[in-house]
């Protein structure tokens, strides 16, 4: 649930011109999808048999075909796992792993799939020698974050895989998402995952992007229950939270400072030598550098409701001249979860903005908050009635209005 909310940080405020009511591809629509009987003249059973042939190119083609059978492809899960585990050729192996991102996986097969993907992360003898396969396995595991606990030991090792920084970044990403999905089962996030991410941050050979993923994960996961881990977090992250030395400032070092402050803010108002980390984060919202402002807003949003005291600063940021800064502030407000009239009134006022991107940001936020009060609907209609509104934006407004007018679905 938490990762779904965090998804806002990575793109909730999209711009489109409709399609809200349509079912996503592969979703459960009101109609019945036509069953695919054959692909390239062969049935699913025939393609599954080809997986057992000696020609690697034919096995690869078979996997591509199997992925096109819709829900029926789930019947081939065990065949695909066998390819992942035993095929000597990297092409069928990587295609089989990729298939786990694409095909329907029945609930009874999820654990088996997760464990098979975890086996593809091992570099030990008998494991996976190819970086491309290990990377693809990590992308597939992100799909199964709520059920990925059996893969955690392999993911912890993959966070230090020397094969590729992108591989390490995906491993870290999968670790913190898995920790969040399983947070309710324990008090606080998994301590071992917290320590792994901390080790990634302080590792001498760790790249900027991997460090950033770990710092963001430490923020999103929240406060660990173990006091010893809390102390280590304070000790290790303080150097980053203090910021770069004078004369050595860079966007990268300042961005890491922002997320280190956010991670420490989970531990209270005055963690160690760092005083009032949330207030310090808010000060970055007025920085001259656009990316720094956006990062600060995202970090506050990552703290969720605990950052509600910084709402006035984020509301002020909605007046920023840069549309991407406005979007970042809006994302943070949505993550904090404040639905008060102060927030709604500000969003309604943004509908009058001259910049179409700012108007679209406000519309997306109102839609996300499911605000369909008379004040909101009248404000949208007022903009629809204007003669000088951009046609694409007008179509988008109309789509949002229609979506908000729909009866609220019962859970």
Residue 394 corresponds to which tokens in the numbers above? Answer: 């007008």
User: What pLDDT was estimated at residue 327?
Assistant: 97
Residue 329 corresponds to which tokens in the numbers above? Answer: 């502030």
Q: 39 - beta bridge partners?
A: 42
Q: What is the mean pLDDT of residues 44-63?
A: 96
- The chain-wide mean pLDDT, for the chain, equals 89
pLDDT at position 16 over 70: no
* 42-43 and 38-39 beta bridge pairing: antiparallel
Residue 125, by phi and psi: left (phi above 0), alpha (psi -120 to 50) or beta? beta
pTM to 2 decimals? 0.86
Contact status, residue 335 vs residue 304, Cβ threshold 8 Å: yes
CA–CA separation, 320 and 11 (whole Å): 19
User: What pLDDT was estimated at residue 31?
Assistant: 41
Higher pLDDT: 409 or 327? It is 327
Q: What single-letter DSSP state applies at residue 12?
A: S
pLDDT at position 20 over 90: no
pLDDT at position 347 over 70: yes
Going by pLDDT thresholds of 50, 70 and 90, the confidence category of residue 246 is confident
The percentage of residues in the chain with a pLDDT greater than 70, rounded to a whole number, is: 91
pLDDT at position 197 over 60: yes
pLDDT at position 1 over 50: no
Contact status, residue 144 vs residue 178, Cβ threshold 8 Å: no
CA–CA separation, 214 and 236 (whole Å): 13
Which residue do the tokens 């974050």 mark?
Answer: 145
Question: Coil, strand, or helix at residue 42?
Answer: strand
Q: What is the mean pLDDT of residues 192-221?
A: 96
User: What pLDDT was estimated at residue 65?
Assistant: 97
CA–CA separation, 320 and 294 (whole Å): 11
Burial of residue 120 (CB within 10 Å: 0-12, 13-18, 19+) is buried
pLDDT at position 8 over 60: no
Contact status, residue 74 vs residue 109, Cβ threshold 8 Å: yes
Contact status, residue 317 vs residue 283, Cβ threshold 8 Å: no
pLDDT at position 244 over 50: yes
Q: What is the mean pLDDT of residues 210-222?
A: 96
Parse the chain into domains and list their residue ranges.
340-405
The percentage of residues in the chain with a pLDDT greater than 90, rounded to a whole number, is: 80
pLDDT at position 30 over 80: no
Q: What is the mean pLDDT of residues 272-298?
A: 95
Going by pLDDT thresholds of 50, 70 and 90, the confidence category of residue 410 is low
pLDDT at position 26 over 60: no
Note the pLDDT tens digit of each residue in 378-395.
999 999 999 888 899 999
Note the pLDDT tens digit of each residue in 70-87.
999 999 999 999 999 999
**DSSP letter string over 227-290?**
HHHHHHHHHHHHHHHT-PPTT---HHHHHHHHHHHHHHHTT-SS-TT---HHHHHHHGGG-SSH
For residue 148, give Cα distances in angstroms to 130, 165, 179, 241, 285. 22, 21, 9, 31, 36
Residue 21 corresponds to which tokens in the numbers above? Answer: 């009511």
Going by pLDDT thresholds of 50, 70 and 90, the confidence category of residue 272 is confident
pLDDT at position 13 over 50: no
Going by pLDDT thresholds of 50, 70 and 90, the confidence category of residue 245 is confident
Note the pLDDT tens digit of each residue in 134-193.
999 999 999 999 999 999 999 999 999 999 999 999 999 999 999 999 877 777 789 999
């Amino acid at each position: 649930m938490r990762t779904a909310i965090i998804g806002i940080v990575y793109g909730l405020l999209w711009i489109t011109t409709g399609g809200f009511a349509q079912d996503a591809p592969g979703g459960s629509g009101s109609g019945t999808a036509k069953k695919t009987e054959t692909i390239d003249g062969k049935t699913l059973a025939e393609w599954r048999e080809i997986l057992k042939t000696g020609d690697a190119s034919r096995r690869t083609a078979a996997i591509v075909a199997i992925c096109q059978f819709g829900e029926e492809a789930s019947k081939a899960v065990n065949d695909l796992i066998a390819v992942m585990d035993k095929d000597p050729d990297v092409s069928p192996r990587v295609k089989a792993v990729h298939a786990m991102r694409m095909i329907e996986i029945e609930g009874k097969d999820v654990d088996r799939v997760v464990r098979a993907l975890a086996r593809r992360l091992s570099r030990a003898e008998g494991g996976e020698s190819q970086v491309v396969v290990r990377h693809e396995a990590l992308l597939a595991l992100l799909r199964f974050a709520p059920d990925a606990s059996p893969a955690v030991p392999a993911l912890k090792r993959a966070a230090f895989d020397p094969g590729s920084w992108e591989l390490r970044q995906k491993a870290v990403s999968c670790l913190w998402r898995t920790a969040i999905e399983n947070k309710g089962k324990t008090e606080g996030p998994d301590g071992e995952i917290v320590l792994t991410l901390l080790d990634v941050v302080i590792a001498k050979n760790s790249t900027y992007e991997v460090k950033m993923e770990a710092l963001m994960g430490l923020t999103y996961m929240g406060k660990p229950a173990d006091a010893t881990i809390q102390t280590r977090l304070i000790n290790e992250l303080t150097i980053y939270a203090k910021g770069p030395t004078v004369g050595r400032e860079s966007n990268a070092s300042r961005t890491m400072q922002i997320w280190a402050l956010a991670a420490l803010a989970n531990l209270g108002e005055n963690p160690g030598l760092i005083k009032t980390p949330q207030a310090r984060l808010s000060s970055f919202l007025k920085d001259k550098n656009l990316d720094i402002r956006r990062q600060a807003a995202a970090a506050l949003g990552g703290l969720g409701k605990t950052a509600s005291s910084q709402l006035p600063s984020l509301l002020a940021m909605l007046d920023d001249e840069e549309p991407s800064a406005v979007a970042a502030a809006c994302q943070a407000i949505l993550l904090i979860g404040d639905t008060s009239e102060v927030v709604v009134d500000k969003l309604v006022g943004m509908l009058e903005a001259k910049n179409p991107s700012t108007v679209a940001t406000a519309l997306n936020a109102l839609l996300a908050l499911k605000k369909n009060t008379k004040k909101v609907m009248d404000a949208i209609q007022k903009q629809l009635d204007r003669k000088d509104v951009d046609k694409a934006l007008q179509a988008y407004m109309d789509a949002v209005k229609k979506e908000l007018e729909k009866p609220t679905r019962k859970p």
